[in-house]
With several copies, the nearest count.
Chain A
Amino acid sequence: MPLDKIGIAKRIAKEVKDGYYVNLGIGIPTLVANYVPTEINVEFQSENGILGMGPFPFEGEEDPDIINAGKQTITTLPGASFFDSALSFSMIRGKHVDLTILGAMEVSEEGDIANWKIPGKMVKGMGGAMDLVASAENIIVAMMHVNKAGESKLLKKCSLPLTGVKCVKKIVTELAVLEITPHGFKLLERAPGVSVEYIKSVTEGYLEVEGLIPEMEID
């Protein structure tokens, strides 16, 4: 059975290692924070200028001056710091952030990513995504394997305008965990009950399948 959004978030949470600084994009990536085991020491950076983000505030304790990049009211944990946008992107560009998790509309078998613009539609902008993907050494994409029309979003080449080139390392979809290798998408895990054949059928880019593909372990 394909994962739901929470399932994807839970699986990605397993990629978060002790000592990581992590930047989470809007959407599914934001959910990941909820599923990182408490014994793992991790600090969340938000590009609008905070390191050491905590949970949402208790009702009535919202502070309009303390938000994340999704413009949500948040709190800080002990050891947190605030900084300006330039220093924030120095953290990102300078590879001080260990892991970036973000959504995508399309990913190519070479690791190109498109997640900011659909020609002909209203464009909201790339925000910090282009800086993040151009810099991060460890980028995990959380995305749906197919679009609403049932077409693959894991492509030979992206059809949409790019956000960055050859940058994605890993992809977690509702169907599979995949790694970008010099050959293309390498299938690492499949969602419980989802067959390799099915994953192949909805992956337009080259899919490398080596040996037996285990099911994802979640929870």
Chain B
Amino acid sequence: MISKKVNSVQEALSGITDDMIIMLGGFGLCGIPENSINHLVKMGVKNLTCISNNAGVDDFGLGLLLQKKQIKKMISSYVGENEEFERQMLSGELEVELIPQGTLAERCKAAQGGFPAFFTPAGYGTEVADGKETREFNGKMYVLETAFDADFAIVKAWKGDEAGNLIFRGTARNFNPCMCGAAKITIAEVEEMVPLGGLDPDCIHIPGIFVQRIFQGERYEKRIEQRTVRPAKTAL
């Protein structure tokens, strides 16, 4: 077994420097690598290009990096719910590239799987297709999209082992598995490190081969963006 375990977020994130392209898992605030993001703030690395479906909120997630102006460019599908983001974007301080969500996921998968490019229907006839090759297959039009090329992928899983095997929980899965192995180095932070053999080989979502470093996050806030509930059940 090849051990990927590192003992701290410091060690996990070593090698990340200014101007790099970083993929980060998560959908909204769900399944984001909280501990790594907090540490990127501490490291103070600048001019980052972040590939992430969303950009966090003002005081959580990628919003923390935005506040410190560490991000040069965001590549996302949806960036609402963030005032500082809006300010930086409108003032031109922040570059933003918006990509259809399915295309974002697949450009990660393409990088993970060694496909340089694929045709997708998403965005045909819209400004997303501007400057891209389009082609008809069986009477329908498609756009050629290419694999991402990132330096680091930082993902968050529920459980992991030292072989780098990962299991995700609920919709905190989202983009995380797609980003594993989609960058030169993949860092996974997990809520719980389990002993080797503690994960059922049939239930592993991401085999360790896609992960270079794994560590247990110190603390998870797991903030909820939209708390929607029904009235509590009452005893009969």
Number of chain A residues close to chain B: CB under 8 A: 75
Question: What's the minimum C-beta distance from A170 to chain B, rounded to whole angstroms?
Answer: 20
A217 contacts the other chain (CB 8 A): no
Smallest Cβ-Cβ distance to A63: which chain B residue: B170
Known: A41-B3, A128-B101. A85 touches B178 (CB 8 A): yes
Residues on B with C-beta less than 8 A from A57 are 228-230
Q: Are A161 and B209 in contact (CB under 8 A)?
A: no
Contact of B109 among A20, A86, A129, A165 (CB under 8 A): A86
Stretch at the interface among B14-22, B36-44, B62-70, B71-79: B71-79
Q: Are A60 and B171 in contact (CB under 8 A)?
A: no
Q: Are B121 and A135 in contact (CB under 8 A)?
A: yes
Q: Are B30 and A64 in contact (CB under 8 A)?
A: yes
Residues on A with C-beta less than 8 A from B112 are 90, 94
Residues 165-201 of B contacting A (Cβ, < 8 Å): 165, 168-178, 181, 196-197, 199, 201
- Greatest chain A CB density within 10 A among B1, B170, B225 is at B170
Contact of B77 among A65, A71, A125 (CB under 8 A): A125
A50 contacts the other chain (CB 8 A): yes
Chain B, interface size category, equals 35 or more
Residues on B with C-beta less than 8 A from A60 are 229, 232
Q: Are A82 and B171 in contact (CB under 8 A)?
A: yes
Q: Are B208 and A81 in contact (CB under 8 A)?
A: yes
Contact of A81 among B76, B123, B204 (CB under 8 A): B204
Q: Are B209 and A96 in contact (CB under 8 A)?
A: yes
B148 contacts the other chain (CB 8 A): no
Residues on A with C-beta less than 8 A from B79 are 123-125
Residues on B with C-beta less than 8 A from A76 are 201
Q: Are B207 and A91 in contact (CB under 8 A)?
A: yes
Residues 86-108 of A contacting B (Cβ, < 8 Å): 86-97
Q: Are A97 and B209 in contact (CB under 8 A)?
A: yes
A20 to B194, CA, bound (A): 23
Q: Are B90 and A43 in contact (CB under 8 A)?
A: no
Q: Are A71 and B163 in contact (CB under 8 A)?
A: no
Residues on A with C-beta less than 8 A from B201 are 52, 76, 80-82
A126 contacts the other chain (CB 8 A): yes
Contact of A83 among B78, B114, B173 (CB under 8 A): B173
Residues on B with C-beta less than 8 A from A77 are 1
A122 contacts the other chain (CB 8 A): yes
A179 contacts the other chain (CB 8 A): no
Q: Are A85 and B207 in contact (CB under 8 A)?
A: no
Q: Which 8 A-B pairs have the closest CB atoms?
A: A89-B102, A93-B114, A90-B113, A131-B102, A165-B125, A79-B163, A78-B197, A124-B80
